[in-house]
Amino acid sequence: MEVFTHRITDFPGGDKSFIEVPFDVGSDIERIEVSYVFPTGAEGSVIDIGLAHEGRIRGWTGAEYGHIFVAEDHAAPGYKAGPLDGRWHVVLGIVRVGPQCWVDLSIRLVPRRARWLAGELHSHTEHSDGGVLAGEAVHRARMSGCDFVALTDHNTTAQNRVKPDNPGILVIDAMELTSYWGHTNFLGLADPVDDWRCYTPEDVPMKMAEAREKGATIVVNHPFQASAGGRWQCGIDVPLHALEIWNGNWAQHNVEAVAFWQEQLAAGKRLACTGGSDFHLKNRRRHGRPANRLHVATRSVAGILEAVRAGANVVTSAPDETMVFPLDNTPMFGASGRSGQAVGLGFEGLARGDEIRLISRAGVIRIIEAESEIQVVEAPLDGGFLRTEVWRGDVPCLFSNPIYVD
């Protein structure tokens, strides 16, 4: 982290003037943080603060807050999130200069770094049939331990215009295309399609292609849901990035989705998996049950969606429960390694007796009974791909995306 400190003791313009402190931000930075202090009190100074980017004001908060920040997808109240590259200025509004006035200013540039985030890719609000306000849905997701949440209301994007100020969680613009022939999430765009209506089964992949061309990340939802409209009826040769294999409470339609996903992988298709609570108030589900544990290059919506598309994801029962991590020189989930390469996998949050299953194109190739909460498993990368599952009796704890063989 780069930190720049300044002590300002000269105020040449006196009262009702401005002082600008310049700094540059490179493409390797994901967050700007600014703090300042000055002497206050009955006879003290009044000094406002704001930020300017490339000569244009990006936010202003007066003298009431001593700490502000801006990032790509979120910012302190009063500031606009957005791109960070370029020339910046801390702008101090010198309302009144008191006796012996000074300002101590600190600018911190937080670099992008890879990390794991946990969150929700499928949930609803009262903008469709979710039963809660958008702000409450975001709050529920945060209280459930999520770092991010997508508000995927049915055939509407109104929820994308209602976002709470700096909720401490990344909120992903989204929409669930809900047709008579299946449902699919469009993630990452406020308006992924011009018109959602599908009059024939052939219209569904056309809408998917439109959304994908605009930049949306496409996930086919609950492909074996029992309802006629919820069941996916448009085939797998459609413009998707991932398949939702775990939707809400574990049930038969999820069993069928996992089996179908394995069939596609065994046939040579590289297809990422996701999970989602599909929260509606009436279905008594909770955000992040299941969760997506994503390995992101940076803490941003763009980083999250890049990880979804890459398959750098482990679908887990909750944001903070059983998990598996690639170790040492093992490729990340969704990536590729050479045939026969030794891979190391570290499991956490296990219970004694849990089944760790290693799965390739041939199906389950090895079952290991957990002996402790933390366990390391080594195996050769072979059989087209290697993925893992953890089961506690007849209930799953996690599904990792595959590591593929080059």
Is residue 122 located within the same domain as residue 241? yes
Cβ(92)–Cβ(49) under 8 Å?
yes
Q: Are 316 and 326 part of one and the same domain? A: no
* Block residue for tokens 């409470």: 249
Residue type, 182: G
Do residue 38 and residue 137 come from a single domain?
no
Beta-ladder partners of 356: 368, 390
Give pLDDT, residue 228. 87
Q: What residue numbers bound the domain in which 192 lies?
A: 115-320
Nearest to 218 by CA among 150, 119, 277, 286: 150
Query: Which strand ranges, in their side-by-side order, compose the sheet holding 56-62?
Result: 17-25, 86-96, 46-53, 56-62
Q: Are residues 163 and 174 in the same domain?
A: yes
Q: Are residues 263 and 128 in the same domain?
A: yes
Predicted local confidence at residue 9, as pLDDT: 96
184-229 per-position pLDDT tens digit: 999 999 999 999 999 999 999 999 999 999 999 999 999 999 998 9
Q: Among residues 87, 141, 82, which one has the least CA distance to residue 277? A: 141
Whether 225 and 340 map to the same domain: the answer is no
- pLDDT score, position 41: 74
Tell which of 281, 300, 320 closes a domain: 320
267 and 389 fall within a common domain: no
Does 13 share its domain with 145? no
pLDDT of residue 46: 94
Q: Give the integer Cα–Cα distance in Å for 244 and 213.
A: 21
The stretches in the chain having pLDDT less than 70 are 42
385-392 and 403-405 strand pairing: antiparallel
Residue pLDDT, tens place only, 100-135: 899 999 999 999 999 999 999 999 999 999 999 999
Is there a single domain that holds both residue 92 and residue 162? Answer: no
The residues near 206 (Cβ < 8 Å, ≥ 6 apart) are none
- pLDDT of 366: 97
What CATH number is given to the structural domain containing 73? 2.60.120.380
CATH number at residue 312: 3.20.20.140
CATH number of the structural domain spanning residue 399: 2.60.40.1930
201 and 71 belong to one structural domain: no
Give residue 165's pLDDT. 80
Same-domain pairing of 273 and 209: yes
Name which of 114, 157, 98, 110 is nearest 312 in CA terms: 114
pLDDT value, residue 42: 67
- 161 & 44 share domain: no
Last residue of a domain, one of 320, 351, 371: 320
Specify whether the backbone of 25 is left (phi greater than 0), alpha (psi in -120 to 50) or beta.
beta
Q: Which residues contact 383 (CB under 8 A, 6 or more apart)?
A: 360, 361, 362, 365, 405
Of the candidates 111, 135, 151, which is a domain's last residue?
111
**Number of structural domains in the chain:** 3
